[in-house]
């Protein structure tokens, strides 16, 4: 008697159970090494960091490790140096990140208008981002050297009196902003260029049919459609701006004084300069909480904007707006 297999027919329960058990074993076999590696290098150190932040763990003085509760956190909250480092970190993020968004948008618009050799230009613009941060720091340290640096030599040659950029209390932090912007603006450019390439060509054609100028098309259509990409770039750069360490270590060492000492450098100084690992752990936890709250606030703002009355309001039924709504997945 011939057996005919019917497509879609249910397998017997025993066969299904054997297949499910085999899939589980295969999944554990494939993911087991990766999960073990992740647990050893990420989860366990993070758990120990949390534990150390509530103890008196330090290497400078050989004393027994004791549980101190939240004393490390209260010490930081009452320390003016912590608040100064936090202020420098926030100022750096609020200046550098918007500057990178604006510069990256301009570079993306320029590249989007190039028809020949776009890949070559994009590759050249990406060079700063591909260089290691420590190499960037050393390169800018040579470039900004107040004695034999090419920048100050040029400014002196034309009759100006340039400052010692990285050694000046007034210019050290702006110098770090410029260096960070130079290195990471190409990342923002790539993200926004992907957003520009995702806008259908029919949107621009419909705008021209309606008599829209380039500025009106950019403000009313391009910017709103780029907003999700801008938020992705902003969040990623906001997180990275809190973790800037390499260029500070190479260019200023947190100085002059504490003029450029952000939270990351302050944590390094407490952990590897003074060997107070419990304080460094508490600073790391505080920084993690601040980053989480800040990121959630930014994403909440983006979500409210998407659900706001402006985005929900219907557009006039023109050819231009119909094409825009169609591109954004809405009904005209």
- CB contact at 8 A, 71 and 149: no
- CB contact at 8 A, 270 and 58: no
Q: 7-32 burial, b if ≥16 CB within 10 A, otherwise e?
A: eeeeeeeeeeeeeeeeeeeeeeeeee
Cα angle value 265/268/271 (rounded, 5°): 150
Who has greater pLDDT, 264 or 30? 264
Cα angle value 277/280/286 (rounded, 5°): 145
Identify the band that residue 122 occupies on the pLDDT scale cut at 50, 70 and 90.
Answer: confident
Identify the band that residue 112 occupies on the pLDDT scale cut at 50, 70 and 90.
Answer: confident
Token pair listed for 146: 């107040």
Report the pLDDT averaged over residues 171-177: 95
- CB contact at 8 A, 53 and 278: yes
- What was the pLDDT predicted at 15? 58
Least confident of 19-33, 97-111, 148-162: 19-33
Q: What are phi and psi of 67, to 5 degrees?
A: -80, 120
- What was the pLDDT predicted at 328? 46
Q: Which residue shows structure tokens 């500070």?
A: 248
- What was the pLDDT predicted at 317? 41
For the 71-327 domain, the top CATH level (class) is mainly alpha
- What was the pLDDT predicted at 16? 56
Least confident of 48-52, 191-195, 198-202, 325-329: 325-329
SS3 track for the chain: CCCCCCCCCCCCHHHHHHHHHHHHHHHHHHHHHHHHHHHHHHHHHHHHHHHHCCECCCCCCCCCCCECCCHHHHHHHCCHHHHHHHHHHHHHHHHHHHHHHHHHHHHHHHHHCCCCCHHHHHHHHCHHHHCCHHHHHHHHHHHCCCCCCHHHHHHHHCCCCCCCHHHCCCCHHHHHHHHHHHHHHHHHHHHHHHHHHHCCHHHHHHHHHCCCCHHHHHHHHHHHHHHHHHHHHHHHHHHHHHCCCHHHHHHCCCCCCCCCCCHHHHHHHHHHHCCCHHHHHHHHHHHHHHHHHHHHHHHHHHHHHHCCHHHHCCCCCCHHHHHHHHHCCCCC
Taking the C-alpha atoms of residue 225 and residue 208, their distance in angstroms, rounded to an integer, is 18
- What was the pLDDT predicted at 154? 93
Q: What are phi and psi of 274, to 5 degrees?
A: -110, -5
pTM exceeding 0.75: yes
- What was the pLDDT predicted at 3? 47
- Taking the domains of the chain in order of start, what are their residue ranges? 71-327
- What was the pLDDT predicted at 209? 87
Q: What are phi and psi of 60, to 5 degrees?
A: -65, -35
Mean pLDDT across the chain, nearest whole number?
84
Taking the C-alpha atoms of residue 53 and residue 65, their distance in angstroms, rounded to an integer, is 11
């Amino acid at each position: 008697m011939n057996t005919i297999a019917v497509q879609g027919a249910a397998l017997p329960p025993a066969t299904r159970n054997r297949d499910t058990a085999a899939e589980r074993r295969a999944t554990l076999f494939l993911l087991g090494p990766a999960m073990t590696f992740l647990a050893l290098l990420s989860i366990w150190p993070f758990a120990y960091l949390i534990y150390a932040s509530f103890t008196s763990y330090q290497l400078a003085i050989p004393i027994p490790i004791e549980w101190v509760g939240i004393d490390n956190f209260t010490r930081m909250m009452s320390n003016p140096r912590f608040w100064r480092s936090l202020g420098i970190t926030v100022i750096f993020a609020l200046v550098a990140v918007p500057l990178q968004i604006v510069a990256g948008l301009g570079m993306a618009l320029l590249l989007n208008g190039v028809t020949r050799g776009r890949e070559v230009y994009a590759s050249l613009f990406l060079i700063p981002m591909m260089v290691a941060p420590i190499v960037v720091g050393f390169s800018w340290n040579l470039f900004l050297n107040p004695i034999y640096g090419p920048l100050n030599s040029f400014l002196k040659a034309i009759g100006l009196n340039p400052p010692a950029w990285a050694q000046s209390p007034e210019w050290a932090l702006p110098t770090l902003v410029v260096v960070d912007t130079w290195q990471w603006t190409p990342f923002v450019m790539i993200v926004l260029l992907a957003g520009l390439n995702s806008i259908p060509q029919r949107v621009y054609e419909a705008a021209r049919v309606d008599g829209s100028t380039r500025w009106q098309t950019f403000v009313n259509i391009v910017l709103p459609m780029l907003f999700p990409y801008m938020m992705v770039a902003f969040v990623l750069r906001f997180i990275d701006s809190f973790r800037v360490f390499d260029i500070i270590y190479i260019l200023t060492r947190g100085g002059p004084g504490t003029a450029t000492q952000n939270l990351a450098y302050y944590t390094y100084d407490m952990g590897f300069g003074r060997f107070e690992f419990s304080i460094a752990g508490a600073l790391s936890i505080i920084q993690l909480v601040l980053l989480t709250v800040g990121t959630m606030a930014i994403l909440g703002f983006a979500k409210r904007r998407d659900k706001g009355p402006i985005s929900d309001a219907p557009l006039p039924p023109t050819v231009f707006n119909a094409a825009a709504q169609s591109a954004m997945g809405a009904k005209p």
